Amino acid sequence: MYKTIIVPVKCSKEDYLYLLNCNVLSAQVWNLCLKIDKEYREQNNGDWIDRNKLQKLTKKCVHLHAKGIHHVVHKYLFARDATRRAKEEGRKDVLYPYKQKKYFVTGWDYQSVKIEGNKILLAKPMTKEKINGKFRKQKPVVCYVKNIPDNIVEIELIYRNKLYLAIKYKDKTQYKQIKSNNCAAIDLGEIHSITSIDSRGNAVIITGRKLRSIKYLRNKHQAEIYRRMSKCKRGSRQYLKYMNALRNLTYKTERRINDAVHKITKLYLDFCIENNISIVYYGDLDSATRNTKQDKKGNEFVRQKLSQWNFGEIIKQLENKLTRYGVKLIKVKEYYTSSKCPNCGRINKPKSRNYSCECGYKQHRDLVGAINILNDNVNTSIKYYKNKKYLRIA
Ligand SMILES: [Zn+2]
């Protein structure tokens, strides 16, 4: 199980400048990968270059530690091959890497990292020139980090208007594995991030109010910056300052959303542990049956993208947490799950947050979705919950 922590870079000014330049050099490696791959394909009837050849051709192309160059090559090949797979699956909206980059993350693997107390030492390349007839080792970059995790796998240098280290490490904690025949189903939503019910009738609703308020605040601030930007000259100093503020806002929002998703998924994990749930089903979000409501006020495209991003992130983090405890997360197709009546099977379009049917059945709308997903995939015929918890994050 891998985990990542992100810490700001604390080091000498000289080292900081060196690190800043690392991401420029990494970008040059990326651009070189693009060029080599393209030329190779043209000369070899559309054949793709493999890892070994690309690694050979990029060796020592910039003055960066060898593992750092490898890191970019790996990332490039990963992106390229993922695109190829997606294209083979029939996706048409994906593009092969083509953009020239100015900055790119730099990586150090465990072999090029050393730990000394509260210091992380990041390897530098050998000297550029020979000293007394030999290339010499350079002193590593020294970064101060308070709590350095054990079993570091890789460190990446990322830039969010400031340099940060993303430290990836192996988490060797033994988690208690949940073993039971209890299953649950999840309905993901905008208003309630997670609504779920298990086959014993325990239900939970976790609101997404926090997520919405983060987005609302972001939009408000963004609008204000745009308003001010429109009053000054494009490219002027003030204009660039606002651009910087916009980027900062994006990073900040990203962090806050991540944090909120983290807390939401933790609450759900607790629910699974408490009720001994070993399998969780969730509806396929790509399925056409999900009705995307038109938002007259906002930009439909942006709105959808944002919420989808959240769903994806929630699922990703859920999977992360649940698998630690041996809980399976399974994606299933949704068929009218939000409109079918669990009692009589009629299809009704719920008009408000409450679902009601001619047969007299009444239920919380999101719970109907979860109940249907559960009944469709597990041999249950649940209609009502036994107990319901309503949770929110601070
Ligand atoms: Zn009914």
**263-290 tens-digit pLDDT:** 999 999 999 999 999 999 998 765 433 4
Least confident window among 51-60, 216-225, 329-338? 329-338
Q: Is the pLDDT of residue 235 over 90?
A: no
> How far apart, in whole angstroms, are the C-alpha atoms of residue 114 and residue 376?
53
Average per-residue pLDDT for the chain: 90
**292-301 tens-digit pLDDT:** 444 444 455 5
Extents of the domains making up the chain: 2-170, 182-209+248-391
The pair of structure tokens assigned to 84 is: 């190829």
Write out the CATH class of domain 182-209+248-391: alpha beta
Contact 344, 357 (CB under 8 A): yes
Helix (H) or strand (E) holding 79: helix 66-88
Helix (H) or strand (E) holding 82: helix 66-88
> How far apart, in whole angstroms, are the C-alpha atoms of residue 317 and residue 339?
28
Distance (angstroms) between ligand 1 centre and the Cα of 102 equals 59
Distance (angstroms) between ligand 1 centre and the Cα of 341 equals 5
**307-330 tens-digit pLDDT:** 555 788 899 999 999 999 999 999
> How far apart, in whole angstroms, are the C-alpha atoms of residue 145 and residue 120?
7
Mean predicted confidence (pLDDT) in 340-351? 90
DSSP string, 93-133: S---S----S---EEEEGGGEEEETTEEEE--PPPSS-BTT
Distance (angstroms) between ligand 1 centre and the Cα of 362 equals 8
The pair of structure tokens assigned to 220 is: 């408000």
State the pLDDT confidence band at 189, using cuts at 50, 70 and 90.
confident
Contact 197, 371 (CB under 8 A): yes
Distance (angstroms) between ligand 1 centre and the Cα of 378 equals 20
| CA-CA-CA-CA dihedral for 31, 36, 37, 38, to nearest 10 | 90
pTM of the complete model: 0.76
**123-180 tens-digit pLDDT:** 999 998 888 888 899 999 999 999 999 999 999 999 988 999 999 999 888 899 999 9
Report pLDDT for 309: 59
Report pLDDT for 292: 45
Q: Is the pLDDT of residue 115 over 50?
A: yes
